Amino acid sequence: MERQLTLRMPANLATKLDRAARDTRRKRSEVVRLALEQFLGEVDTKAERRPIDLVRDLLGSVESGVPDLGQRHRDYLLRRLRRAH
């Protein structure tokens, strides 16, 4: 390893780290490295995400009960907006 890091953590976090290391049969330092790599990788990819990427898994997940909503969504939206005023 090129660099060393010393850190203080709450006892409950140290307990979780010890448990994860034991359960995965890895050293605590390896568990910390893996967690940092995953966290920092997610931070990098979140910076590059478009708004649509944040809700992509939600698209099509709700049943509206309106059979032609995909084709006539604009009509339904305008009708709803007119009723609101």
From first to last of its 85 residues, what are the pLDDT tens digits of the chain? Answer: 689 999 999 999 999 999 999 999 999 999 999 999 998 887 666 667 788 877 888 887 777 788 888 888 899 889 989 988 7
Beta strands in 1-85 (DSSP E): none
Instruction: Write the CATH number of the domain with boundaries 1-57.
Output: 1.10.1220
Distance of alpha carbon 1 from alpha carbon 50, whole angstroms: 35
Distance of alpha carbon 83 from alpha carbon 85, whole angstroms: 5
Q: Give domain limits for the chain.
A: 1-57
| Per-residue pLDDT tens over the stretch 13-23 | 999 999 999 99
pLDDT at 44: 64
pLDDT at 47: 64
pLDDT at 1: 64
Is 70 strand, coil or helix?
A: helix
Structure tokens at 7: 């850190």
